A = this chain, B = another copy of it.
Amino acid sequence: MAALTGSAGAAGLLPSLSVPGVTELKPLSRYEAMRLGPGWSHSCHAMLYAPNPGMLFGRIPLRYAVLMQMRFDGLLGFPGGFVDRRYWSLEDGLNRVLGLGLGCVRLTEADYLCSHLTEGPHRVVAHFYARQLTLEELHTIEICAVHSRDHGLEVMGMVRVPLYTQKDRMGGLPNFLGNSFIGTAKFQLLFALKVLNMVPEEKLAEAVAATQKQKKPAAEPAAVTANVTTANVTTTTAAVTAAVTANQIVAKPANELANQPLAVSMAEPAAEPTAEPAAEAMAE
């Protein structure tokens, strides 16, 4: 982190994100950002993360726990907010906001990661911080958050970001990136995962690409998809009607229920269909 802070001090040395499909934001050195005029608003957000030795389903390495939050506006974002530089340093302002929602963490200039100009009609420069914690410290922050005065108001809940990709190529980070994010949060997440070497760059690109392939049918189903779906529903409905009528049905349990409701199935009989077959991490 210290090395990054140092290089960020000189203009133009910050790496770009370079993930196809994600709009590149203009990086600024902290020095440049601090010299912006009073017409500029400064936002400060922080990524709190911890190495996580845990394994999902006993076999998918979690690698890191990374905290984001569901905000009052229904979007995912990092803890933080605007800082009025007339009254506060960036870090004091950030800590003030974090104090409302997280209660028990203080960041310093050593946690500074990068600054970027945001898109949109307003003059906002987004400063981003990252602090590595132990998993116990991170868990304590989650507990603080659910007890904090912001809980259920500005913050609807903290969530950890899945960094793995499951075998179906969507489960985990790709699906997560398909959620809705505030302002620069998605860019900052990807940027931090890249520059802190938490996820290999090609995995980030694959995850973003998978999201974008998925998005189109979700927004407006292609004719083919819609037809197939309708056909399935019709068949299923007919089958149910038959089953209800005759109370007998010949059907094999599915072997794999990818994309079905949450299966918590470690202790279930082997014959029970579960989401597990889709839950293995892709080989990296």
Task: Let me know if A43 is at the binding interface, CB within 8 A.
Answer: yes
Interface string of A66-85 (1 = CB under 8 A from B): 00001111111111111010
Contact present for A122 and B36 (CB under 8 Å): no
Interface string of A152-194 (1 = CB under 8 A from B): 1110111111100010001111111111101111000000000
Within 8 A of B (CB), among A3-53: 23, 26, 28, 32, 35-41, 43, 45, 52
Residues of B within 8 A of A146 (CB): 139, 142-143, 146
Contact present for A172 and B124 (CB under 8 Å): no
**How many copies of this chain sit in the oligomeric assembly?**
2
Contact present for A175 and B183 (CB under 8 Å): no
Q: Please, how many angstroms separate the alpha-carbon atoms of A78 and B143 in the complex? A: 21
Interface string of A112-144 (1 = CB under 8 A from B): 000001111111101000000000000100110
Number of A interface residues in the complex (CB < 8 A) = 117
Task: Pick from B160, B179, B263: contact of A179, CB below 8 A.
Answer: B179
Contact present for A264 and B97 (CB under 8 Å): yes
Rounded to whole Å, the gap between the CB of A125 and the closest CB of chain B is 8
